[in-house]
Amino acid sequence: MTDATASGNAQGRSRSLKVLDERTRKRYAAEKRFRYYGMGAVGVGVLLLVILLVSILSNGLGAFRQTMFELEITLTQAQITEAEESLLKTSVYRGFIEENMRAALTEAGIADEVETSQAMELLGGDAGSTLRNWAVGQRVTPVPEPDEGVTRTFNFLADGRIDGYFKGRVTMESAERDSRVTPEELALADDLREAGVLRVEFNPGFLTMSDASENQPEAAGLGVAIVGSLYMMLIVLCLALPIGVCASIYLEEFAPKNKLTDLIEVNISNLAAVPSIVFGILGLAIFINFMGLPLSAPIVGGLVLTLMTLPTIIISTRAALKSVPPSIRSAALGVGASQMQTVFHHVLPLAAPGILTGTIIGLAQALGETAPLLLIGMVAFVQEYPAAPPEGLFDPASALPVQVYNWTQRADPAFFERASGAIIVLLVFLAIMNVTAVLLRRRFERRW
């Protein structure tokens, strides 16, 4: 008997631990293969991320730099008065810039070779309004005698095509075919850059200026979008956090287990999976058509995003509450605390890191949402900054992802660069929020 078993074993696998038999080798090989699959999967993910980041950064970093046109302008009071009396005031001011252009060209030493009108083509579309904004403040009525005039050195934005030339987006060949710029203008831009009149520098305006029309892509900025997104996040935080936490505490700690609470639970999970555009339709029907809130306002956007974020917050809060061990509750109840004291003095503080993490992730999700804003009129060309809250919550505003969407639809290729720049800003905001969430969890998390 013993002989038989021994020989049987000897056939199946060797007795020595040092020599691997067939089955063990196979098991090891399978494990190794699986590790490679896993590494491959991670590798693919990282590679895609790198491609995404490289393409966005290479397209978008240019948006943070802008070519500036330095020009000294002298205006007389009579000129200001004349301009203010016309209908299209900015174009009259543009005419005044042309009058001052000759001096700048002389200083650069190329006045003989070029016409001032050609040099004007290098100037961005908003030069007239930049000048007007300043000139209106300098105006003295009635026109004094003698009319001495006022002088100031301006850094006007250069035209989008010229800007693109210095960033490599526009070339001499493409200018040949382009109806908006000529190779002569690019050559002139080169000369002016050498003379120090044109400079490429950091462009804070990209973060502070409001959106601009297609005639002046160089003047387009993210200001209104950032403010709009901030207002909406504020509303979401103020509404979704307290409502979500209250709802989850009740459901988790107080609610009786019956069919009704089961139904509510199922519905909350379902709501978390509802496509965001559905919340937009709801927002249009309830907040705008029924409650009469204004179109394009951050308050409506915030309310819609609150509805969208609530399930996420409730689910993560309930998970955080659940992970607090029952022994803590029992101990608190055992020494005579009421159920509410147990929750607020013991359970909630321990669950706080989880709740905060869930909230921040929900907010980050809401920050990147465009679809629900489409129907409530926030996907729009908004030029005016909203006022300070609370009134400002009712003024029209844009949002960061909306601005990206809008800019990708513009005809001028310069907007493509701006769109990528806006994506970078959006990603930075998202990264900050997610890192905060991770840090909070690391810092306060307790393990049992």
Partner 1 sequence: MSVFKTTATTLAALAATTAVAAAQSREQVQVAGSSTVLPYASIVAEAFAENTDFAAPVVQSGGSSAGLRQFCEGAGENTIDIANASRPISESEIETCRANGVDGIIEVRIGYDGIVFASQIDGPEFTAFEPEQWYHALAAQLPQDGEMVDNPNANWTDVDDTLPDAEILTFIPGTNHGTREVFNENVILAGCEASGAMEQILEINGGDEEAAEVTCMDIRSDGSAVEIQGDYTETLNRMNQNPDSVGVFGLAFYENNTGSLKVATMGGVEPNTETIASGEYPVSRPLFFYVKKPHIGVIPGLKEYAMFFVSDEVAGPGGPLAQYGLVPDPELAQTREKVENETTMSDE
CB of 21 to partner 1, least distance (A): 56
CB of 380 to partner 1, least distance (A): 4
CB of 272 to partner 1, least distance (A): 21
* Cα–Cα distance, 123 to 315 (Å, whole number): 54
Strand ranges (DSSP E) for 234-274?
none
Q: Could you tell me the sign of the dihedral formed by the alpha carbons of 364, 368, 372, 377, in that order?
A: positive
Nearest to 184 by CA among 193, 175, 174: 175
Of residues 77 and 296, the one with the C-beta less far from partner 1: 296
Of residues 28 and 344, the one with the C-beta less far from partner 1: 344
CB of 359 to partner 1, least distance (A): 13
CB of 180 to partner 1, least distance (A): 7
Of residues 71 and 245, the one with the C-beta less far from partner 1: 245
CB atoms inside a 10 Å sphere around CB 325 = 13
CB of 349 to partner 1, least distance (A): 12
To which residue do tokens 């965001």 refer?
Answer: 276
Of residues 104 and 225, the one with the C-beta less far from partner 1: 225
Of residues 94 and 193, the one with the C-beta less far from partner 1: 94
C-alpha atoms less than 13 angstroms from C-alpha of 149 in its C-beta half-sphere:
10
CB 97 within 8 A of CB 159: no
In angstroms, the Cα distances linking 1 to 5, 13, 14, 199, 333 are 6, 19, 19, 96, 65
Of residues 352 and 430, the one with the C-beta less far from partner 1: 352
Instruction: Describe the strand order of the beta sheet including 150-157 as a list of residue ranges.
Output: 150-157, 65-75, 198-202
Residues at the contact surface with partner 1, assessed by CB under 8 A: 86-91, 128-129, 132, 174-175, 177-180, 212-216, 238-239, 241-243, 245-246, 249, 288-289, 291-296, 299, 344, 348, 377, 379-384, 390-391, 393-396, 408-413
Which pair of tokens denotes residue 382?
A: 């908004």
Nearest to 319 by CA among 342, 353, 344: 353
CB of 65 to partner 1, least distance (A): 22
Of residues 368 and 413, the one with the C-beta less far from partner 1: 413
